[in-house]
């Protein structure tokens, strides 16, 4: 079973996405802030990380940067899942090594799952 780490500070989104992905057959680990997300990534070495950008303690950009610097986590694909949509944010996240950039408001959950499946192939 593939493991996905979901770093998101909004509990309602955590619940909805978590349950949906569990039904799709993934194991979900949840982190409610950036710092915890980084620690859990190192500890569990998930197959994929879903990362929000606006996060307490450490924002998504910092998390992404540190994930890509660390030997253990640098090869884990990261899908940024956020409501920030400005051109500069997208470019920054992609240049820091994010695999895909998804704007939450523009995606239904089954489309998010489709992107996850494509990335995990």
Partner 1 sequence: MPLKEVLQKINFVKQCRRYQLSLWQCPSFLFLLMGLITILTMLGSYLIALRYTEQPEIVALIVILVAAILTIINYFIVQGFERLAQANQLKSEFVSIVSHQLRTPLTSIKWTLNLMMDEKAGQLTEEQLAKLKTIKESNQQMGDLINDLLNVSRIEQGRLVVRPEKLSLEALVRDIFKDYGSLAKSSNVKLSLVSHEDIPLISADRQAIKIVLQNLIDNAIRYIRKEGRVKIVLKKKNRSVICQAQDDGVGIPQKDQNKIFQKFFRSRNIMKYQTEGTGLGLFISQAIIKASGGKMGFQSREGQGSVFWFELPIKPKNNKQ
Q: Is 87 in the site for partner 1 (CB under 8 A)?
A: yes
Q: Is 20 in the site for partner 1 (CB under 8 A)?
A: yes
Among 109, 114, 117, 120, which residue sits at the site for partner 1 (rule: CB under 8 A)? 109
For the chain, state the CA radius of gyration: 13
- Whole-angstrom CA distances from 37 to 50, 107, 110, 114, 121 are 10, 23, 24, 23, 23
Q: Is 90 in the site for partner 1 (CB under 8 A)?
A: yes
Beta-sheet pairing, 27-31 with 78-82? unpaired
Q: Is 71 in the site for partner 1 (CB under 8 A)?
A: no
Residues that bind partner 1 (CB under 8 A): 10, 12-13, 15-17, 19-20, 23, 83-88, 90, 104-106, 108-110
């Amino acid at each position: 079973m593939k493991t996905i780490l979901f770093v998101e500070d909004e509990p309602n989104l955590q619940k909805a996405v978590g349950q949906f992905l569990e039904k799709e057959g993934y194991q979900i680990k949840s982190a409610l802030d950036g710092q915890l997300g980084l620690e859990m990534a190192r500890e569990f070495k998930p197959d994929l990380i879903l990362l929000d950008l606006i996060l307490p303690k450490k924002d998504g950009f910092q998390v992404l940067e540190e994930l890509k610097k660390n030997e253990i986590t640098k090869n884990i694909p990261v899908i940024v899942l956020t409501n920030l949509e400005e051109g500069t944010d997208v470019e920054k996240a992609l240049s820091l090594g994010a695999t895909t950039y998804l704007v939450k408001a523009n995606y239904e959950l089954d489309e998010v799952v489709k992107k996850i499946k494509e990335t995990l192939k």
